[in-house]
Amino acid sequence: MISGAKNAVLPIMAATLLTSEPCIIRRVPNLSDVRFMAQILESLGATVRFDGDVLHVQAAKITGVGDYELIRKMRGSVCILGPLLGRTGKAMVSMPGGCVIGARPIDLHLKGLKALGAKISIDKGYVNAAVRKLRGAELFLGGRSGPTVLGTANVMMAAALAGGITVIESAACEPEVVDLANFLNDMGAKVCGAGSPTITITGVKKLHGAEHEVIPDRIEAATFAVAAAATGGEVTLRGARPDHLHAVLDKLKEAGVTVERSGAALNISRKGKLKPVDITTLPYSGFPTDVQAQIMVLMALTPGISIITERIFESRFMHVSELARLGADIAIEGPSAIVKGGGHLSGAPVMASDLRASAALVIAGLAARGTTEVSRVYHIDRGYENIDGKLRKLGARIERTEAP
């Protein structure tokens, strides 16, 4: 069963700060990033309670500015800026640094919030934002690598409580942005056009509590689909949304993988030979950067040459040197990885560097001969709910030697 989407639930949790009333969020994945975000909300004065995969949050009053240490640790926490500005007129978050996948600036977030009237300064590593009253504006949020997902989320949340109309041009079209817009609308906001490059938000005076079910995680679904293809196995993805997975399923089919719909589930299997495919990561509805590392493993197992080009994050190839330890033949040429596939992978100790790279290493380990030991698996627990348990159910021989 596919869990709720990490990248949808994080901004939705942040959006609960926009109202003093209780919110209920369903299908919340049990992830360390989610627990971090819950602690951040608590440090801002909200009461937070998990009841299985149901999260109850109420930010009756915003007290304080949040726990910097927590905010610093999780890049996704940048999306508290918009709701805090909207609700209280001030916000402070630690300026996120780069990470292993690239520089990760937040200039577009700040540009958008400034356009709504916020005064922003950066002092001692912190972003300080303040405004008497946010006012709607027309703004363009496209950057060098296309739109920004969390930047769009931030501006949408701030604009929900601004005076007047905000139009975001070159908005991110990801399903997670649509899920957030649906939640905001359930709270009484007026957001139109989410899922397209133009989003219009008509500010309202107040938002109320709402109940929402998070969309299924398309990246988790894609990861399991690739794992089945890489191991020559079969998987039934229950609860996945095929309409969120077009680019991934299309490439899998092109590579010779069988993709079948059966009612509400998706069946992925590999019966015949694999074929190499070239892939370029792009903003939605293009091929997701968050599946680039996993599909590279599949291509490393596929006879022939494939070129995988990363267009979203500048240095998201940390997995390449680890895959080489398993015997993969991959060369980096600028933003592209040239994969000479078809050789056998053989198990080795490898180290996870980020969330999706760790998923790729797990898939490689399952497909490799012998035993692979992946260290620093805390990266994987940030974004995959019980990945080892789910894989074991599918017949994988995988065990965790350290408690999560």
Q: Is 356 in the site for ligand EPU (CB under 6 A)?
A: yes
Q: Is 290 in the site for ligand EPU (CB under 6 A)?
A: yes
Q: Between residues 175 and 365, which has the closer beta carbon with respect to ligand EPU?
A: 175
**How far is Cα 398 from Cα 333, in angstroms, rounded to an integer?**
33
Question: What tokens were used for 302?
Answer: 């596929």
Question: Which one among 150, 180, 184, 366 touches ligand EPU, defined by CB under 6 A?
Answer: 150
Q: Are strands 119-123 and 22-26 parallel, antiparallel or unpaired?
A: unpaired
Question: What tokens were used for 48?
Answer: 């937070």
DSSP code for 45? T
- Piece of 100-108, 178-186, 201-209, 322-330 that binds ligand EPU (CB under 6 A): 100-108
Q: Between residues 348 and 355, which has the closer beta carbon with respect to ligand EPU?
A: 355
Q: Is 71 in the site for ligand EPU (CB under 6 A)?
A: no
Neighbours of 96 (CB within 10 A): 20
**192 belongs to the catalytic site:** no
Which residue out of 23, 79, 99, 173 is catalytically annotated?
99
Question: Which one among 107, 138, 169, 260 touches ligand EPU, defined by CB under 6 A?
Answer: 107
Contacting residues for 348 by C-beta, under 8 A, at least 6 apart:
325, 326, 368, 370, 372, 373
Per rule CB under 6 A, count of chain residues that contact ligand EPU: 26
CB of 294 vs ligand EPU, minimal distance in Å: 11
Question: Which one among 34, 93, 108, 252 touches ligand EPU, defined by CB under 6 A?
Answer: 108
Q: Which one, of 140, 201, 139, 147, lies nearest residue 15 by Cα?
A: 201
Question: Which one among 38, 184, 226, 312 touches ligand EPU, defined by CB under 6 A?
Answer: 312
How far is residue 336 from each of residues 192, 332, 352, measured CA to CA in Å? 37, 6, 21
CB 21 within 8 A of CB 87: no
Crossing angle between the packed helical segments 318-325 and 292-300, to the nearest 10 degrees: 30
Q: Is 340 in the site for ligand EPU (CB under 6 A)?
A: no
**How far is Cα 161 from Cα 288, in angstroms, rounded to an integer?**
31
Longest Cα–Cα distance of the chain, Å, equals 63
Q: How many CA atoms lie within 13 A of 264 on its CB side?
A: 6
Q: Is 216 in the site for ligand EPU (CB under 6 A)?
A: no
Please name the helix (run of DSSP H) or strand (run of DSSP E) that holds residue 236, with its range, or none. Answer: strand 234-238
Q: Between residues 29 and 276, which has the closer beta carbon with respect to ligand EPU?
A: 29
- Piece of 64-72, 137-145, 258-266, 271-279 that binds ligand EPU (CB under 6 A): 137-145
CB of 97 vs ligand EPU, minimal distance in Å: 12
CB of 353 vs ligand EPU, minimal distance in Å: 12
Question: Which one among 22, 142, 143, 327 touches ligand EPU, defined by CB under 6 A?
Answer: 143
- Piece of 19-27, 104-112, 270-278, 337-345 that binds ligand EPU (CB under 6 A): 104-112
Cβ-count burial of 273 within 10 angstroms (0-12 exposed, 13-18 middle, 19+ buried)? Answer: exposed
Q: Between residues 136 and 151, which has the closer beta carbon with respect to ligand EPU?
A: 151
**How far is Cα 45 from Cα 53, in angstroms, rounded to an integer?**
22
Q: Between residues 176 and 270, which has the closer beta carbon with respect to ligand EPU?
A: 176
**How far is Cα 318 from Cα 46, in angstroms, rounded to an integer?**
37
Q: Between residues 151 and 365, which has the closer beta carbon with respect to ligand EPU?
A: 151
Point out which residues bind ligand EPU (CB under 6 A): 7, 10, 76, 102-109, 143-145, 148-151, 172, 289-290, 312-313, 355-356, 383
Enumerate the active-site residues: 99
